[in-house]
Structure 1
Amino acid sequence: MRYLGSYPASLKARARTMIERGEAGPWLAKRYPQRHPVQTDKALFTFANEIRQNFMRQAPLLNKVLYDSKLDVIAHALGLHTAISRVQGGRLVAKKEIRIASLFKHIAPEFLQMIVVHELAHLREMNHDKAFYRLCESMQPDYHQVEFDLRLLLAQREAPPPIG
């Protein structure tokens, strides 16, 4: 249950029970029946920039947003944001990039939005503190529920199949 490590014991126990009984997958499929249409890096770049433009106009522009087949979901959580600084002429230029694990090409739109919102929030707030999560909630009001449900989905995918 590594994806649910920081949640209260009662929630982890309920999630474990749902996974063991084989209820988590069907419950999540009913709750999130659609799959998002954002399948290319170009579409992902457009999707992320629309969210940035709607909620974070003053944030730095994104230079690159892409699906990364090499991004390890376990090591890097759900996505990765980077700032690459280079000297161009006499100026220091920072390029902002967001990488999303390719695993997330085939998930519900709410989950993709949650991952992008999370990575965009890091443009303004580097730490996972109250200000960071307030910013996430301002961009996606049900952010915490969607994050929990995505973590439940990841835990369910990792678990052995239910017996019976």
Structure 2
Amino acid sequence: MPVKSASQSLKPKTDLSLLVTSADIKKQQSEQSALRYLNGYRPDVVEKIRQLVDANALAAHFLTRYPKIHDVRTDKALYDMAITLKNTYMRQSDPLAKVIFDEKISVSHHALGLHSYVNRRQGNKVKAKNEIRIAAHLKHVPFELLQMVVVHELAHLREKEHNKAFYQLCSFMLADYHQLEFDMRVWLVAEEVGQSPYA
């Protein structure tokens, strides 16, 4: 009977293909951090999205709901869209001076749009102007999601905080606002895990 050498007897009997690599860990951490966009939603809802991510099926799932992106490409088209919404639902609110796509807004920092109240001096007078800036990255999303972000920023003309009155105003302007906000968050997850539906 042959005698095993010391090195053979210490050799692990593990299938190396089953070992977790650093790449596996990084991928898992990335997917978990992407799910932060869904914090506050029911665990079963988050689990469904996690399963779609794990199956690399999130983009396909998203496309069944939103098969194409909008065609609002210019700042003028975006302004016209915002003014139409404002004149329909918020005629009494302060005027809106500017609505533009902004390359500097980073989606990864939880900003899809910004509302600002800008004071400008013109001679002896100080003029206050409301401006809305939308992340340029949102040129490549479905119209419904772009509209949701515009409605969100418009609501800040009247309600500065994210309180009950704010969300009531958003829902008044866009009946399915809460569903669209959730879908936007799902899109953010898809973007972050590399499963962009519109790449």
**What is the TM-score of this pair, normalised by structure 2?**
0.76
Q: What residue in structure 1 maps to residue 137 of structure 2? A: 103
CA RMSD in angstroms comes to 1.5
CA contact (8 A) 2:113 2:132 kept: yes
The question of 1:143 aligning with 2:177 is answered yes
The residue type equivalent to 1:145 in the other structure is Q
Instruction: Report the secondary structure of 1:37's partner residue.
Output: coil
Residues matched between the structures, number: 161
The whole-number CA distance in structure 1 between the counterparts of 2:56 and 2:109 is 26
Q: Give yes or no for the alignment of 1:84 onto 2:118.
A: yes
Gaps of 5+ in 2: 1-34
Runs (4 or more) in structure 1 with deviation over 6 Å come to none
Deviation, structure 1 residue 34: 2.7
Q: Residue deviations 1:49-107, cap 9 Å, x none? A: 11111110011111111111111112242111111113334443211111111111011
1:154 to 165, 169, 188: 188
- Give SS of 1:94's match: strand
Instruction: Using structure 1 for the length normalisation, give the TM-score.
Output: 0.91
- AA in 2 matched with 1:117: V
Q: How far off its partner does 1:123 sit? A: 0.5
Letter in 2 for 1:116: V
Q: Does 1:118 align with 2:152?
A: yes
Higher relative CO (CA 8 A, sep ≥ 6), structure 1 or 2? 1
Question: Shift in Å at residue 6 of structure 1?
Answer: 2.8
> Secondary structure, in 3 states, of the residue corresponding to 1:96?
strand
Max Rg structure? 2
Structure 1 residue 11: deviation in Å? 2.1
